[in-house]
Structures are given as structure tokens and as C-alpha cells.
Homo-oligomer: A and B are copies of this chain.
Amino acid sequence: MNILVIGAGGMVGRKLTASLLENCVLAGREIGRITLVDVAAPDAPDGKGIVIDTRAADIADASVAPRLIETRPDVIFHLAAIVSGEAELDFDKGYAINLDGTRHLFEAIRQAGKAERYCPRVVFTSSIAVFGAPFPEKIGDEFFSTPRTSYGTQKAIGELLLSDYSRCGFFDGVGIRLPTICIRPGAPNKAASGFFSSILREPLSGREAVLPVDDSVRHWHASPRAAVRFLRQAAEIDTASLGARRNLNMPGLSATVGEQIEALRRIASNKAVSLIRREPDPMIIEMVDGWAKDFDAARAISLGFEAETSFDDIIRIHIEDELGGALPK
């Protein structure tokens, strides 16, 4: 099993890589090679017998994708993207990476398949940002994509291309619309959704955090652990069960910022909660107002995908995976 991870340097990419190296098997086949790609070369982990190839590459450059698939990976995880906040501020860059980069990859696979039999599984991380308000109370599996950000537009276009290339037999694609990943570890990135994590992560480590929206804001979450599980399942699922509709809303947990804060109070302390500083940001308030709040992810659940059911669990996962199992004294 030869695996390519594009966007391997990001948080989800690193956790996916760690998971692949931990059990060395995907879709019932032993992993022999993993190529890790990002705009800056990812750190090479200890491969424990698995060949690890790390590369710096910009997928917006059309000449890159054909080289990335030279070893004909069996599974390609395409996680690379300019995040929502940055794609909104830099229109050209967002389209260059999120749309053109995705299209270059898909097209390279199609061209490779002309000369030889080649039809890899492609797992594409889409986003709930493909949906735009106004919403029904719960977004169902057949709700339309009317994104209200350029990022959401680019992801929705990636989904359409994924479906068409899969329908034509150029590859075997699965798109997964990840909930907002919470608690995102490490330093904040430019995603406008970053505060959903930082209001928990920073206080859990004794640091201040800024909350730019109201406590009543409801949103859709899943842990980094769930995200990695979704990616692995998307690589392993029998796509015959998907038919022509290859993009799936992943399950998640719908919660308000207030509910997040109450979970923080239960798992940590009032003192942790007091580290959250309210500082409304009109640009973020407006963006978040157009985001999805709750889903009925019946289709993915029937296919075996599962997320957390309480924010207490989401916080506990962060403490186990990022803080060594206990809150700092």
C-alpha cells in the first residue's frame, strides 16, 4: 500500500500520518510507502520500516501534481488548502490553491490513467463551509451548497470535480465535509473558526483567549481524533455504497459557545473560564453567522462514521492527546 498525503504538514495531516504509522495497515493492506507533501517539507517521522518520502511542493503549480503521483499511490489524501479566513482576504491565492491545485491533482491522475491502468482512491477533505445561511434547523444530506465564502465555494467546486472524475472512472473519490475540528492543538492558524478551539485550548493551559462572537453562537464540531478516523474510513469504505453521490456530511456535535464554556467549567475550573476575554469582531461575527449550526448526518452515520456526543468528551480527548493526560498544575 502506497499512500500520498498532500497537506501533510497541517494538524490533521500530522495526526493522520501518526495514525498510519501506528498500525501500518490501511484498507486491510500493509503500508509500504508514505509520501508526505506540503508547501514546506513536513518533518520526516520514524517510518519503522515504511519508506517515508517528504517533499515541499506548491500544488498551485500545474507541473507539481504529475510528479507527486509518479510512484502511483494507491490512496491519496488531499488535505491541502488555504483556510477560510485567508481565502477570504486573498481571493487569488484561495482560488490558486483550493481550486486550481485540486484540479491539477485530479487532472494529473486522469492523464496517468491514459497510459496505464491507474485508478487510486482519492480522499478529499471538504468542509461544512459549502453550506450558507439561511439553513433549516438541521442540515440534511440533500441540502444545497450555497457557500457564503470563497473558501466554501472552492470546496464545493472541488466536490463537484471529485464526483465527475469518479463518475468517469478516472479515480475512486470520496469527499468528506469535516465539522470544525475542535480542539485544534498548537498555534492558532488563520481560519476564522479558530476561536472555537482557542477558547478551550488556551484556558486549559492557563492562558488567555479571545472570544469574538456571542455565547449563543451554535456550531458543528468534531475532535481531531474523529477527523483522522473519518479520513481512514473514507479510504476504506466500499464506494459502491455511495453511488454517484460521493460527498458526505460527516457526523459531529452541535453545541453553542456557551455550552463549550460550561464543559470547560466542568472539566477544568471557573478560573479557566475567567481567562476567556470577550472582544466582538464584526468580520468574524458576519462570517460565522453564515455557517452551518447543526446537521442530520444520517447517510454518513449509516455508513459507520461516528463523532463525539458531548463537549466534555472533546475536551478530555484534548487532555489525553495533547496535554499528557492531565491539566497543567
Footprint of B on A, CB under 8 Å? Answer: 91, 132, 142-148, 150, 153, 156-157, 160-161, 163-164, 167-168, 244-245, 290
Q: Please give, as numbers and ranges, the residues of chain B lying within 8 Å of A143 by CB-CB distance.
A: 142, 144
Q: Please give, as numbers and ranges, the residues of chain B lying within 8 Å of A161 by CB-CB distance.
A: 153, 157
Instruction: Report how far A266 CA is from B57 CA in the complex, Å.
Output: 66
Given the interface contacts A132-B244, A145-B144, A146-B244, does A160 sit within 8 Å of B168 by beta carbon?
A: no
Q: Please give, as numbers and ranges, the residues of chain B lying within 8 Å of A147 by CB-CB distance.
A: 160, 163-164
The contact of A145 among B145, B150, B167, by CB within 8 Å, is B145
CB–CB B146/A164 < 8 A: no
Q: Please give, as numbers and ranges, the residues of chain B lying within 8 Å of A168 by CB-CB distance.
A: 91, 150
Q: Please give, as numbers and ranges, the residues of chain B lying within 8 Å of A148 by CB-CB distance.
A: 167, 244
Q: Please give, as numbers and ranges, the residues of chain B lying within 8 Å of A163 by CB-CB distance.
A: 146-147, 153
Q: Please give, as numbers and ranges, the residues of chain B lying within 8 Å of A244 by CB-CB distance.
A: 132, 146, 148, 290
CB–CB A245/B146 < 8 A: yes
CB–CB A145/B160 < 8 A: yes
* Apart from A142-B143, A147-B164, A160-B160: 15 A-B pairs, beta carbons within 8 A: A91-B168, A132-B244, A143-B144, A145-B160, A146-B163, A146-B245, A147-B160, A147-B163, A150-B164, A150-B168, A153-B160, A153-B161, A153-B164, A156-B160, A157-B161
Instruction: Report how far A33 CA is from B156 CA in the complex, Å.
Output: 37
Q: Would you list the 6 A-B pairs with minimal beta carbon distance, nearest first?
A: A153-B164, A144-B144, A153-B160, A157-B157, A146-B245, A142-B144
Instruction: Report how far A4 CA is from B171 CA in the complex, Å.
Output: 39
Instruction: Report how far A290 CA is from B91 CA in the complex, Å.
Output: 35
Instruction: Report how far A156 CA is from B144 CA in the complex, Å.
Output: 11
Q: Please give, as numbers and ranges, the residues of chain B lying within 8 Å of A132 by CB-CB distance.
A: 244-245
Q: List 27 A-B contacts (CB under 8 A).
A: A91-B168, A132-B244, A132-B245, A142-B143, A142-B144, A143-B144, A144-B144, A144-B145, A145-B145, A145-B160, A146-B163, A146-B245, A147-B160, A147-B163, A147-B164, A148-B167, A148-B244, A150-B164, A150-B168, A153-B160, A153-B163, A153-B164, A156-B160, A157-B157, A157-B161, A160-B160, A244-B290
